[in-house]
Each structure stands twice: as structure tokens, then as C-alpha cells.
Structure 1
Amino acid sequence: MKITKIEDKDKISFMELLLLADEDLKMIEKYLYRGEMFALYDGGLKSICVVTQESDDVCELKNIATYEKWHGNGYGSKLLDHIFSHYKGRYVTMLVGTGDVPWILQFYQKNGFRISHRIKDFFTDNYGQPMYDDGVQLVDMVYLSKIL
């Protein structure tokens, strides 16, 4: 298994995988080039993430995606472990915002995040079309935080 930092010129080539976690290209473009991207390979690309600086002591996990056929194999958690180590000492807190979907919230909580706050109507106010995950329409953004 290998985790690699992706240079800006190469980030666009990972759009197919990024779109699995955030279905709106315009939203991805807002953070893609101001963030750092990491890719996890294990006999091929398995998982990817983008982390942005939000303040001197806070970073945000803007996108993490694993190809669906590889869900449940620990690739997302291994990628999170890598970025936790990478950013420890550089930032105090890592945030992540997501839809109010039980399996996603459980994934983040299993990896040390705790629910912080919500932004009411985030998905309905910021996306041009309704967003769904597991058949549930996403409305509020749930923020979780982790002390690094």
C-alpha cells in the first residue's frame, strides 16, 4: 500500500473518484486547488482525499472517496490515519462536513471525529439539484471535528 501527495497539475485526473463523494463539479472546483490531495494505492487507485487550510490551526477534510467495490476494506481509514499524522503539529483541529447519513457519520466517528455542529439547509441552498445518499435527501450539513 502506498499513499502519495498529488500535485496540482494532476488533480483533475482524479475527478471521477472525487465526484463519488461530492456530486457537484462546481463545489469541487471551489476547494480542489486550494487544498492538498492524497491518493491511496494498493495494486491500483483505491481512495483519495482533499484537505484545505481553514485557519492557522484548523484544516478541513473536504472530500474523501473510495471506489465502492473497495468499501469495507479499510482504505478510507488508512488514508485518514495518514492525513492525521501528516497534519498533526501543523493544525490543532480537523473538520469534516457531511450529509446526515448514518453509515457516513459512523465511519467518521469510528475514526475519532465527534459531531460539532450543523448548517441548516446547506445542501438545498448550495447545490443546484437535490442530493441523495442511500435514498435519503441531504438537507443539513453535519460538521464533525477531531483534535489532531
Structure 2
Amino acid sequence: MEIKKVTADKKQYLSLLLLADEQEDMIDRYLDKGDMYILMDDGVKGECVVTDEGKGILEIKNIATEPSYQGRGYGRALIEFVAEKYRDTFSVLQVGTGDSPLTVPFYEKCGFSRSHYLKNFFTDNYDHPIYECGIQLIDMVYLRREL
């Protein structure tokens, strides 16, 4: 397993990016300003994009694993890589996600805890309803982890 930084042509990984954020214009808001990493293990298995949010906060804007390889530790490996790489530069790693029984427990298992909510994020920013596990996502929940 190897994790590499992507510095050019980040959109070549659009199919992975769209797994975590299904509207391309939303991805365009952070992709160029973020640092992108891909996880290779006999081919690309996952990706992660992080941005500097100021005040010592690094945010995971997008993280995804190829569906047929989910549950094998690739997402956790990306989070641990990012946490280690940026621990001397940032004090907090945060992620915003839908309040879903699929994603929130994953982040909690990776050492994150709930921080705050952004009301109506999905209804205000997407051109269609977003569903996960059959639940319509309305609010964004932020989770934080000290580095």
C-alpha cells in the first residue's frame, strides 16, 4: 500500500470524488485549493482531499474508497496518513458529513467526536435531495479530532 500526493489533473479521479460528494460543482469549490492524496494497492483504491481552514484546522473535504474495496481499512489508512503528515502544522483535523448511520460511526471509530452542525447545508447547497442509507441529509455534522 502506498499513498501519493496528486498535484495535477485531480479530476482524473472524479469517479472516486463523486462517491463522497455527488455534485461536481461542489467538488470544484475545494479541489484546486486542497491537497489531494490517492491510496494505491495494486491500483487506486481510495482518495482524500484536505484543506487549510485557518486557525490550526485541517478539514477533510472528500474521502472515498472504491465500493468493492470498502471495509478493508483504506479509508482509515488515509485518515491516519493525513493526521500524521499534518500533525506538526495543524492542531485539529475536522470533517463535515451528513448525519448518517453509515458515515458518522466510521469517523467516530477513527477518533473523531461530534463538534457542531451546519443547519440546512444539504438543502441549501445541492440542486437535488441527498440520501444516504435511505435518510435524506439536511444538516451537516462536523466531527473533530485533535492532532
TM-score (norm 1): 0.97
Deviations 1:60-117 (A, max 9, x none): 0000000111111000001111000011010011110000111210100000110000
- Would you tell me which structure has more helix in proportion to its own residues? 1
State the partner residue of 1:4.
4
Q: 1:86 corresponds to which letter in structure 2? A: K
- Percent identical pairs in the alignment equals 48
State the partner residue of 2:143.
144
Deviations 1:11-60 (A, max 9, x none): 01011100000001011000000000000010111010000001041110
State the partner residue of 2:74.
75
Matches within 5 A, 1:1-148: 1-7=1-7, 9-148=8-147
TM-score (norm 2): 0.98
2: distance between equivalents of 1:35 and 1:87? Answer: 13
2: distance between equivalents of 1:113 and 1:90? Answer: 18
Q: Give the number of aligned pairs.
A: 147
Q: 2:136 corresponds to which letter in structure 1? A: Q
Q: 2:23 corresponds to which letter in structure 1? A: D
Q: 1:25 corresponds to which letter in structure 2? A: E
1: distance between equivalents of 2:65 and 2:103? Answer: 12
Structure 1 runs, 4 residues or longer, greater than 2 Å off: none
Q: 2:2 corresponds to which letter in structure 1? A: K
